[in-house]
Structure 1
Amino acid sequence: MSDAVLSIRNASKTFGARRALDQVSLEVGKGEMIALIGPSGSGKSTLLRSISALQTIDTGAGRIEAFGGPVQENGRIAGDVRRTRTRIGMIFQQFNLVGRLSLFTNVALGSLGRIDRLRGFFGLWPAETKTAAMAALSRMGVADYAGQRANTLSGGQQQRGAIARALVQKAKIILADEPVASLDPVSARRVMDALRDLNRADGLTVVVTLHQVDYALRYCDRVVALKAGRIVYDGPASGLKRDKLIDIYGPEFEDVFWEGAPK
């Protein structure tokens, strides 16, 4: 893929006797919105954490690149990975906001890769950061809560704040690790709508892990399925039919298959 912004080659990750990733290779093109699906323990979160250099892959031939430069290879994080990380926003299931700080401050922290850290430590935000933070909060529909402590907000509000922080970061890739797993259906839809809007309106590349297969099919054109650390499907959402989903998740999936699923 000539316009790939992410490239994973032969990446493996072992935890004790368990291989969480097993020779995974994947390319992500600029402006794609991809869903990563698969059973619990299939390697979805491990893959995202490896792409963002939050953990190392095993030594060997594995290599991960972003924007044409190395993130890690042979079990070692690249020396200049911090510069690459500034262009990758990570959204976590549990929001990863600092609860005692205001929502505004949490969002402004997205600018730390570009401003003096001492200024950020004392909350002396440049005018550009203040403007960007309020614009991002407004876009996510949570500007009214800017002065409120993050831990007093609902899960959906916090998650939209985390997305706003990625906007202030000026991320070009958003990695979202089960961002709606702990949210009610209405809040989950708002978060997924926000991610899709960033993908379509801003051209951001989005890779999102999901347990809700119906969301994967509704919001993402491309779906990558992992099972036991290996990619077992990589293709259009329209091609992910009932038989393949049962093969990925097991026969019990038939019992919980949603009404109106593809035949």
Structure 2
Amino acid sequence: MSDAAVLSVRQVSKSFGSRRALDTVSLDVARGEMIALIGPSGSGKSTLLRAINGLAPIDKGPGRIDAFGGAVQAQGRVDRDVRRTRIRIGMIFQQFNLVGRLTLFTNVAMGSLGRIGFLRGLLGFWPAETKGAAMAALARVGVAEYAGQRAGTLSGGQQQRAAIARALVQKAKIILADEPVASLDPVAARKVMEILRELNRADGLTLIVTLHQVDYAMRYCDRVIALKAGKVVYDGPPNGLTRKQLIDIYGPEFEDVFWEGAPQ
């Protein structure tokens, strides 16, 4: 792991039966990068994020994942102290992972459970610091006015903003966002991407975002990593991707759905 990297993935493979979802993937992530993970469905994007967070154990062998200088997992085993590392890694999911019957405030305050303890949070005994942080985070993403409303009654875009706020309360230094805009309408999707980009630029947060929308990847991210059949087939700046490379990654049908003004 280089001195500049906050995350290191080395020769990581992950199999589901006979299918290799990740195939000897290696990459380093520097502090403050905003990276798009692109590739067709089944290419390994979500599996890679789950492996980085220790949610998906990797195959036995030389593979290793480190974050902030500590091991997440190695040689097919999640490190027994992974919780210390995981508390600094926020995860945002396509389906928000909020508890619909609880208020937006409570869902966001749950980001502090790793520090204050589960039982205290379960009983609603939130410290003043957590209360202040939760309301500040909700304000930061533009949904503070809905703090007392049940999460399940809000729109998808509002819920996804709350999921981002929860990661802020967690005090995450790396945010892994797995298809965070896939279920949102275009206006809500752009707003979520703008919030993530602002957090990256203003706060220096490191973000890795899986996206099906290649135009979003090229518009909002500084680095693009493309996966195909579990292998890294491109790693570089967005403007380095050519139309031919994208068609090689996604197949000839991609030509028909590519946006206007695409690279040649």
So what's the TM-score if we normalise by structure 1?
0.99
Shift of 1:262: 1.6
2:8 matched residue in structure 1: 7
Shift of 1:8: 0.3
Shift of 1:17: 1.3
1:44 matched residue in structure 2: 45
Separation in structure 2 between the aligned mates of residue 55 and residue 237 of structure 1, nearest angstrom = 28
2:156 matched residue in structure 1: 155
Equivalence map 1:47-196=2 (5 Å) = 47-196=48-197
Separation in structure 2 between the aligned mates of residue 164 and residue 116 of structure 1, nearest angstrom = 19
Aligned length: 263
Amino acid at match of 2:209: V
Which region of structure 1 is more displaced relative to structure 2, 253-262 or 203-212?
253-262
Separation in structure 1 between the aligned mates of residue 46 and residue 234 of structure 2, nearest angstrom = 17
Separation in structure 2 between the aligned mates of residue 115 and residue 70 of structure 1, nearest angstrom = 23
- What are the superposed Cα offsets for residues 149-181 of structure 1, whole Å, 9 maximum, x if unpaired? 111110000000000000000000000000000
Separation in structure 2 between the aligned mates of residue 129 and residue 163 of structure 1, nearest angstrom = 15
Separation in structure 2 between the aligned mates of residue 117 and residue 159 of structure 1, nearest angstrom = 23
Separation in structure 2 between the aligned mates of residue 169 and residue 242 of structure 1, nearest angstrom = 39
Separation in structure 2 between the aligned mates of residue 43 and residue 114 of structure 1, nearest angstrom = 31
SS of the residue corresponding to residue 198 of structure 1 reads: helix
> What is the RMSD computed on CA atoms of the aligned residues?
0.7
SS of the residue corresponding to residue 112 of structure 1 reads: helix
1:241 matched residue in structure 2: 242
Shift of 1:2: 2.8
Shift of 1:116: 3.2
Counting aligned pairs with the same residue, the percent is 78
Separation in structure 2 between the aligned mates of residue 116 and residue 253 of structure 1, nearest angstrom = 47
Amino acid at match of 1:229: G
- What are the superposed Cα offsets for residues 206-251 of structure 1, whole Å, 9 maximum, x if unpaired? 0000000000000001000000000000001110111110111111
Which region of structure 1 is more displaced relative to structure 2, 247-256 or 31-40?
247-256
Shift of 1:55: 1.1
So what's the TM-score if we normalise by structure 2?
0.99
1:232 matched residue in structure 2: 233
Unaligned runs of 5+ in 1: none
- What are the superposed Cα offsets for residues 124-167 of structure 1, whole Å, 9 maximum, x if unpaired? 10000000000000010000110111111100000000000000
Q: Which runs of 4+ in 1 moved over 4 A?
A: none
Separation in structure 1 between the aligned mates of residue 154 and residue 94 of structure 2, nearest angstrom = 15
Shift of 1:118: 2.1
Amino acid at match of 1:129: T
